[in-house]
Amino acid sequence: MRTCRFELSPAYAHLEEFCKNITQEFAQSNATIHRARNELKTLHVKGESLVVKSFKVPKGVQKWVYSFWKNSKAKTSYLNGLFLQEKGICTPQPIGYVEFYEGKILKESYFIAQEWKYDFTVREPLLEENFPNKEAIFKAFAHLVHTLHTHHITHKDLSPGNVLIRREGLKMCVVDINRMSFSPLSTSQKLANFSKLWAKDGDLKSIISHYATLAGLDPAQAYATALAASHRLKAKINFKKRLRGVKVVD
């Protein structure tokens, strides 16, 4: 028997029917904005501009883990979004999550957030040598990460595409928030959190310089620690790619 479980923010109670029919609504939309392991689409429902994330159906052991012991990734995203907003950290307005079960086994899960319009992500200034206002962007990004760390929040997938930026005021917004941890970090752990940026050494130096100023760290020592962590991750991932015959970017 197929059952639906969902939770909506009280301000979005008018989306209840949409939640119940989200499988069909999502399938019928061709407005995909990202498709990999999971898929994101924009949908316009009852005057609301939404981004809906459909999570890959868990298989094997994970099927049992997410059915009985852990929150679904959709529910985790919703709860993490509420927590980030509580701490004053920008993330698209979390609206709710929907889960579908067959018997007691989780089969589908969706996270719903309000669409957050942006001009670019951190990826562009990291890739483009002459990107306008690059240093100010790096400074604002360092401030964002420092704010996360001050609240004992670690974004475990702090990759360039997961920080959205509006050009005006360099407002930054964190996305892809289902993989986060909430506990104090050592200095080396904080600096290693920048590794997934896959930044060039010079760009990483600039970002860490701003972060060190905010965190009261020695800039040279902080950069050396962050650089070593960045190089370790690059070497690890590139080694795996070479084994598969995939082209690498150092």
Which domains, from first to last, does the chain contain? 2-114 (3.30.200), 120-242 (1.10.510.10)
The pLDDT value given to residue 25: 94
Reference 107, options 163, 54, 186, 41; nearest CA is 54
The pLDDT value given to residue 189: 97
The pLDDT value given to residue 65: 67
The pLDDT value given to residue 78: 97
The pLDDT value given to residue 107: 85
The pLDDT value given to residue 248: 64
Reference 174, options 154, 201, 204; nearest CA is 154
Helix (H) or strand (E) holding 161: none
**Single pTM value for the model:** 0.91
The pLDDT value given to residue 249: 65
Q: Which residues of the chain are under the pLDDT cut of 50?
A: none
Maximum pairwise Cα distance, the chain: 60
Whether 230 contacts 199, CB under 8 Å: yes
Helix, strand or coil for residue 244? coil
Q: How many separate helices (H) and strands (E) can be counted in the chain?
A: 9, 11
The pLDDT value given to residue 237: 75
The pLDDT value given to residue 250: 62
Residues 137-163: tens digit of each pLDDT:
999 999 999 999 999 999 999 999 999
The pLDDT value given to residue 114: 97
